Amino acid sequence: MSEHLNVGGFRYRFRLINPDGSVADDFEADNLIPADGLSFLLQSPFGDASPIASFYCGLWRGNVIPTAALKATDIPANLQEFVGYAEATRPEWQREFDGVGTQDNATNMAEFNFNTDATLYGSMLVSDPTKGGNSGLLLSCVRFPSPRQVTAGQKGQLIAGITYVPTNVI
């Protein structure tokens, strides 16, 4: 039966806001759930893995293609987390359940106030709030459809969400 199971993963929306409030960029992308994240999502609802209360949003600048083997320990060296923003820690993923099947932070987007110019390649959800940290659980990792240029003074807004779709097609 396992060959018929499919976890679609997280969907991200990234919006880049100019200092004057105009929107410089706005796009969506689908993620990769690394093996550790998939194990967590499958085991934690049944008590087979310890719950994790909070996850945090991060951005990365490494020109890499995420794989299932990716772990939080890979964040500094491989993903090359982007830390050039004013917030002291990674913004918390303040998710809400819509009562139907989606958890997302659409009503409370993660915000990054950029103080450094950079080229960004993707974003992630990780259980460690430390900017540039390499511990915790890497739950989700998405490579943007194309590299995105950000400049100091701009603001990034990130929405991440996951939807479980009930189906009888197995």
Domain that holds residue 154: 10-163
pLDDT digits (tens, 9 = 90+) for 130-151: 999 999 999 999 999 999 999 9
pTM of the shown model: 0.91
pLDDT digits (tens, 9 = 90+) for 73-88: 999 999 999 999 999 9
Residue 64 DSSP class: -
- Structural domain includes residue 21: yes
C-alpha 142: how far from chain center: 7
Which residues are CB-neighbours of 101 under 8 A, at least 6 positions away? 163, 164, 165, 166
Please state, in angstroms and rounded to a whole number, the distance separating the CA atoms of residues 12 and 148: 14
The tens place of each residue's pLDDT in the chain, 170 residues long, gives 444 444 568 999 999 999 999 999 999 999 889 999 999 999 998 989 999 999 999 999 999 999 999 999 999 999 999 999 999 999 999 999 998 888 999 999 999 999 999 999 999 999 999 999 999 999 999 999 999 999 999 999 999 999 877 665 55
- Structural domain includes residue 94: yes
- Structural domain includes residue 140: yes
- Structural domain includes residue 49: yes
